[in-house]
Structure 1
Amino acid sequence: MAHTDDTTKVWDLIDKIGFCMLATETGNDIRARPMAAYVERMENSVYFLTDADSHKDDEVEAHPNVCLAFADTKGQKYVSLSGTATVENDREKIKELWGTPAKAWWDSPDDPKIRILRVTPSFAEYWDSPGTVISYIKMAAAAVSNTKPDMGENAKVNL
């Protein structure tokens, strides 16, 4: 598969999965929390809405390298994306990204505490398997035949 196809696959998977675990550095520890991702492939960015009072903003400002882990466990599709994060206060972009997930945390996009966390990806790895049932069948067949199962596509992609 060509690099362009792998890059497209990464963007398609993260867009389809939609939610991820955002991992940030907190001194000597790594901390992850679930976040709703807004994928903007033409901008080479993944956006999140966050609160100005949250700890992740401080963590990103101190250590901007982050990891986003996307998982569709039912479909056996996964993406690990590494990149650089910035905290922004672009009020127009906040309104553009406003949607159902944000309504759980804020009353309106005009809330002055809302910030954007923008991740510019540099590297990704994806795993795209044919699904849980087929994966189990392939693993069972491989165990019986003493071979390794073909678990679908896997690629490392520089973005």
Structure 2
Amino acid sequence: MAHAEEDHEKVWKLADSIGFCMLTTQSGTELKARPMSAHAERDENAFYFLTDVASHKDEEVSRHPNVCLAFADSKGQKYVSISGVAEVQNDREKIRDLWATPAKAWWDSAEDPSIRILKVTPSSAEYWDSPGTVISYIKMAAAAVTSAKPDLGENAKVQM
């Protein structure tokens, strides 16, 4: 497998395994981030989120569709930042497809007419995948003693 393809695969695997991200949108001149449960669909080159028609992020996306998804597994020292273009959809079949237990915290059923889909089509990404907190600390301590830069795992910028 080519290196670029491996990096591409790594982005999707990391994002899928972490599952939750901070979705950053633009509101006027300010950036706003909020936690969201992501549904990664590599075959469709998209990340999907269930959202509410009355939410501010939907309005922000319609004005400024460029968004950032920041995934973080701080215990495992794995991070992914994905930039892309978002759009709000009212695809009732896809909503039923994405419906899962966490959504019940916000809506009674997948048939709630206020549910919308936020679809993000990624354009670029960057990931950091280290061997874990303990090993990273040991490598940093060793680097401090030897004045060498620590090898803290993989990092790559990826065109999606």
After superposition, where does 1:121-132 map in structure 2 within 5 Å?
121-132=122-133
**2:154 matched to which residue of 1?**
153
1:22 is matched with which residue? 23
- The answer as to 2:81 corresponding to 1:110 is no
- Specify the code of the residue in structure 2 equivalent to 1:105: W
Give the letter for the 1:57 counterpart: D
How many Å apart are 1:18 and its aligned residue? 0.1
- Give CA deviations for 1:93-146 in whole Å, capped at 9, x if unaligned: 000000022111000000000000000000000000000000000000000111
Q: 2-side partners of 1:105 and 1:90: how far apart? A: 18
Q: Give the 3-state SS of the residue equivalent to 1:150 in structure 2.
A: coil
Cross-structure match for 2:53? 52
Task: Tell me which residue corresponds to 2:88.
Answer: 87
What amino acid is the match of 2:114? K
Opposite residue 43 of structure 2, the aligned amino acid is: M
Which residue is 2:140 aligned to? 139
Distance in 2 (alpha carbons) for counterparts of 1:16 and 1:100: 17
1:96 corresponds in structure 2 to 97
Q: Which consecutive residues of structure 2, in runs of 5 or more, have no partner in the other structure?
A: none
Q: Structure 1 stretches of 5 or more lacking a match?
A: none
Q: Which amino acid aligns with 1:90?
A: D
What SS class does the counterpart of residue 75 from structure 2 fall into? coil
Q: Deviations over 1:43-101 (max 9, x none)?
A: 00000000000000000000000000000000000000000000000000000000022
Q: TM-score, normalised by structure 1?
A: 0.99
1:73 corresponds to = 74
* Paired residue secondary structure (1:122): strand
What is the one-letter code of the residue matched to 1:89?
A: N
The one-letter code matched in structure 1 to 2:108 is: D
Aligned residue pairs: how many? 159
Name the % identity: 70
Q: Structure 2 length normalisation: TM-score?
A: 0.99
Moved over 4 A (4+): none
